Chain A
Amino acid sequence: MSGRAGVVTRGALMMLKKASMGMFIAIVIGSMWLIMPPRAASIITAERIPNADSGHILLQAGGCFACHTDTDDYAGGLRLDSPFGDFYSPNITMNTTQGIGGWSLNDFALAVRQGISPEGTFYYPVMPFTAYQGMTDQDIADMWAALQQLPNSDQSNIAHDLPFPFNQRLLLKGWRLLFFKQDRVDPEQRGAYLAEHVLHCAECHTPRNRLGALIASKHFAGNDQLPDDNAAPDIRSHVLKDNGWVAADLKYLFAEGMLPNGDYVGGTMVEVTDYGTAALSSEDRALLADYLLGN
Chain B
Amino acid sequence: MIKFKKTAILCVSALMFSGAIAAGDFDKEIDGRQSYMGVLGYNMGILGAMAGEKMPYDADLASAAARNLALAAAMNNGSMWPQGSDMDSTEGTWAKADLWQNFPIVMDQLGNLKTYSEALATNAGNGLSSLQAGMKGVGDSCKECHKRFRAKKN
A interface vs B, CB < 8 Å? 224, 229-233, 246, 248-249, 251-252, 255-258, 260-268, 270-271, 273-274
A258 with B152: CB separation less than 8 A:
no
Interface code B26-53, partner A: CB below 8 Å = 1, 0 otherwise?
A: 0000000000010011111111110111
A258 with B139: CB separation less than 8 A:
yes
A231 with B41: CB separation less than 8 A:
no
Segment at the interface with A among B14-22, B76-84, B141-149: B141-149
Residue of B nearest to A255 (CB): B52
Instruction: Check: B154 CB closer than 8 A to any chain A CB.
Output: yes
Task: Report A-chain residues with C-beta under 8 Å of the C-beta of B51.
Answer: 252, 256
Task: Report B-chain residues with C-beta under 8 Å of the C-beta of A273.
Answer: 143
With A252-B51, A262-B43 known to touch, is A270 a contact of B147 (CB < 8 Å)? yes
Complex Cα spacing A65 to B29, Å: 39
B48 with A231: CB separation less than 8 A:
no
A252 with B154: CB separation less than 8 A:
no
Task: Report A-chain residues with C-beta under 8 Å of the C-beta of B150.
Answer: 266-267
A266 with B54: CB separation less than 8 A:
no
Most chain B CB atoms below 10 A, which of A248, A260, A266: A266
Task: Report A-chain residues with C-beta under 8 Å of the C-beta of B41.
Answer: 261-263
- The 8 Å CB contact of A229, one of B52, B136, B151, is B151
B40 with A262: CB separation less than 8 A:
yes
B143 with A266: CB separation less than 8 A:
yes
A264 with B42: CB separation less than 8 A:
no
Which B residues, 121 to 140, have Cβ-Cβ distances below 8 Å to chain A?
Answer: 135-136, 139-140
B96 with A256: CB separation less than 8 A:
no
Q: Can you spell out 8 A-B residue pairs with CB atoms less than 8 angstroms apart?
A: A230-B151, A233-B152, A256-B52, A256-B139, A258-B48, A262-B44, A262-B48, A263-B41
